[in-house]
Amino acid sequence: MNESLRQLTRRHFFHDCGLGLGRIGLASAMAGGFGNLARAAVSNPLSPRDTHFGPKAKRVIFMFMAGAPSQLELFDDKPKLRELDGKPIPPSVIAGQRYAFIQPNAAVLAPRFPFAKHGRCGAELSDRLPHLTGIVDDIAIVKSMKTDQFNHAPAQLFLNTGHGLPGRPAMGSWLSYGIGSEADDLPSFVVLKSGGNLSGGAAMWSAGFLPGSHAGVPFREAGDPILHVSNPAGFDNQAQRDSLDLIRKLNERELGTVGDPEIQTRIDAYEMAWRMQSAAPELMNFADESPATMELYGAKPGDPKSAYANNCLLARRLIERGSRFVQVYHSGWDHHSQVEAGVTAQAREVDQASAALVKDLKMRGMLEDTLVVWGGEFGRTPMVEASAALGRSMGRDHHPQAFTMWMAGGGIKPGVTLGATDELGFNVVEDPVHIHDLHATMMHLLGLDHTKLTFRYQGRDFRLTDVHGHLVEKILA
């Protein structure tokens, strides 16, 4: 009877046992008039969803540099700034802009590091990214990123959810809603974090108005990686299994008496919880990684100094096991003061592992269908930030008008640099890529039309890209 109940009820497939497992973008399918999308879903509600068209990427790893790295110290060299170092920026350039800390009369600050061309593509990078130079022919650098927000929390939310306030679904949640999960014992949308606290907070991996099971599952830095995934104190696996067996037996009896198919869903959820309990330790145990791999990333399990490297490796292990979207946050890029020392230290923490992830994926043949994105929530000002009250000097303030990100893998054209900023690095002058465009492009690579993946909430069909977003064709392979 149970199977037939499952087949029959909508509740099962609207409220299945979660973690994004087998969920259909039903509202959008309805709006789209029941094409293949819906039919495929109905015939097997637990399978991963069909996409709108053939995907180039099946999964995403997003290395989120929280705090906003300085593009002027890493990617976007500006000789003119060196020339004008210490002089006030022309008022015509800055007029009308709002800044978080600096005043409009701030002076220009020259890029702190030498730049050089690398690889066959000749992409220009500063000397702070020695490992990235090694994979520069595998990535696409976008120097013309733009965002709407000039404070951390709103800008981080904007990059994660397409909106500057909490309450909208994260990219990973949209993906889970749109194409379901391939993992049946691990979460589909996972959040990893290192380097300190995040301004945007939990709203960055919230499912917003989508069903709660599409929310990102944050892995914890201490204790259980997934909350309560370990057996309780004193319980061995046998005791845990005995308990689950009794729960199951009693639940099945209730199902027989009451007939509510939701009970079957509950039984399934408990079984999946059990599978997660055994999958999680296996996932977290890096013993099966070769010394070469560990060295490539600079991963050292348990060492807080290698937290980012460990997370990059963990991200690869997650996508190997079916996770769709792994968000790797690394904080500490907010260099309002002493940008030189700050960028040096941060780059040292992330450069090797970021590059290693791309290399490793490539070696394993996974890069071709894994989309890798690297970048922060905005850029930093060409002007210096200094404040006696705050004890700041030689820093840079937030700059939403122009910044740099890079992408690799899954349908991204390797070895290109897209876009350009003006000679002061102040505004984008060529091929602007707004955050909405980034989202549209990511969705496209995943086989989804960003205008079609919608969810009706409060009387309106919402999208990740709101009413915006253009495909960035020039970086498509």
Partner 1 sequence: MPGTAYLTRKTLTLSRPATDAISVPYFLMRVLLSAAFLFPAFFGTLSNCVAQEVSFQRDIRPLLSDRCFKCHGFDDETREADLGLHLFEQATRDLGGYQAIKPGDAAASEVIERLISDDPDEVMPPPKSNKPRFSAAEVALMQRWIAQGAKYEQHWAFEKPVRPEVPAVADSTSAHAIDRFIDNDLASSGLRANGKAAPHTLIRRLSYDLRGLPPTVPETDAFLAAYASDPVKAWENLVDSFLASPAYGERWARDWLDLARYADSNGYEKDRPRSIWPYRDWVVRALNDDMPYDRFTIEQLAGDMLPNATVDQRVATGFHRNTMLNEEGGIDPLEFRYLAMVDRVATTGSVWMGLTTGCAQCHTHKFDPITHTDYYALMALMDNADEPEIEVPVPGLEKRRAEIEKQMQAMEAEALAQIDEARYQEWLAGQKASRTRWIALPPTSAKSNLPLLEIQPDHSVFASGDFTKRDVYEISLDLSAVGDEPVTALRLEALPDPRLPAGGPGAAYYEGRKGDFFLSEVTARVDGRPVSFAGASVSFGKISVGSGEARGSNIYDGDGSTGWSTSSQEGIANELVVQLSEPISKGGQLEITLLFERHFVAALGRFRISATTASSGGAANSSHTPDPFTASDPDLRRGYTRVAPEFESYQIDYDSLKKSLPEFPTSLVMQERPAQNPRTTHRHHRGEYLSPKEKVKAAVPAVFEPIREGDSANRLGLAKWLVSDRNPLVARVAANRAWSAFFGRGIVKTLGDYGYQSAQPSHPELLDWLAMELVEKGWSMKHLHRTIVTSETYQRDSKVDSLQLEKDPDNVLLSRGPRFRLTGEMLRDGALQSAGILSSKAGGPGVFPPQPDSVVELAYGGAGDWKVSKGEDRYRRSLYTFSKRTAPFAAYLTFDGPTGESCLPQRDRSNTPLQALTLLNDPMFHEAAEALARQTGSGQGTDPVEPGGVIEVLFRRVLIRPPTTVEKSEIVEYYEKQRTSLAAGELKTEMIMGDKTLATPELAAWKMVARVLLNLNEAITRG
Restricted to residues 174-193, the positions that interact with partner 1 (CB under 8 A) are 193
Pairing of the two strands 59-66 and 370-375: parallel
Task: Give min distance, CB of 178 to partner 1, in A.
Answer: 15
State the CB neighbour count (10 A cutoff) for residue 152: 22
Counting contacts by CB under 8 A, is residue 376 touching partner 1? Answer: no
Q: What angle do CA 263, 267, 273 make, to 5 degrees?
A: 140
Task: Give min distance, CB of 341 to partner 1, in A.
Answer: 17
Burial of 40 per CB tally in 10 Å (0-12, 13-18, 19+):
middle
- N residues, the chain: 477
Q: Which is nearer to partner 1, 327 or 417 (CB)?
A: 327
Task: Choose which of 257, 288, 292, 473 interacts with partner 1 (CB under 8 A).
Answer: 257
| Listed ranges 233-241, 285-293, 320-328, 346-354: which one lies at the site for partner 1 (CB under 8 A) | 233-241
Contact between 351 and 132 (Cβ < 8 Å): yes
Q: Which is nearer to partner 1, 197 or 285 (CB)?
A: 197
Spell out the residues 6+ positions from residue 308 whose beta carbon is closer than 8 angstroms to its own: 194, 195, 328, 330, 349, 350, 353
Distance CA 368, CA 59 (A): 10
Task: Choose which of 2, 11, 413, 471 interacts with partner 1 (CB under 8 A).
Answer: 11
Distance CA 298, CA 106 (A): 40
| Listed ranges 266-274, 300-308, 317-325, 346-354: which one lies at the site for partner 1 (CB under 8 A) | 266-274
Containing 435, the helix (H) or strand (E) segment is helix 435-445
Distance CA 209, CA 170 (A): 10
Task: Choose which of 36, 83, 117, 202 interacts with partner 1 (CB under 8 A).
Answer: 202
Task: Choose which of 2, 51, 97, 199 interacts with partner 1 (CB under 8 A).
Answer: 199
| Listed ranges 38-46, 171-179, 293-301, 417-425: which one lies at the site for partner 1 (CB under 8 A) | 38-46
Using CB under 8 A as the criterion, what x/- string covers residues 331-370 for binding partner 1?
Answer: ----------------------------------------
Spell out the residues 6+ positions from residue 443 whose beta carbon is closer than 8 angstroms to its own: 174, 178, 449, 450, 453, 464, 465
Counting contacts by CB under 8 A, is residue 166 touching partner 1? Answer: yes
Q: Which is nearer to partner 1, 238 or 290 (CB)?
A: 238
Distance CA 196, CA 349 (A): 13
Task: Choose which of 71, 133, 188, 277 interacts with partner 1 (CB under 8 A).
Answer: 277
Contact between 378 and 155 (Cβ < 8 Å): yes
Q: Which is nearer to partner 1, 413 or 452 (CB)?
A: 452
Q: Which is nearer to partner 1, 50 or 351 (CB)?
A: 50
Task: Choose which of 69, 162, 195, 200 interacts with partner 1 (CB under 8 A).
Answer: 200
Counting contacts by CB under 8 A, is residue 46 touching partner 1? Answer: no
Phi, psi of 385 (to 5 degrees): -110, 130
Using CB under 8 A as the criterion, what x/- string covers residues 87-106 for binding partner 1?
Answer: -----------xxxx-x---
Nearest to 336 by CA among 82, 101, 106: 101
Distance CA 348, CA 343 (A): 8
Positions 377 through 396 that interact with partner 1 (CB under 8 A): 386-391
Number of residues that bind partner 1 (CB under 8 A): 108
Q: Which is nearer to partner 1, 209 or 286 (CB)?
A: 209
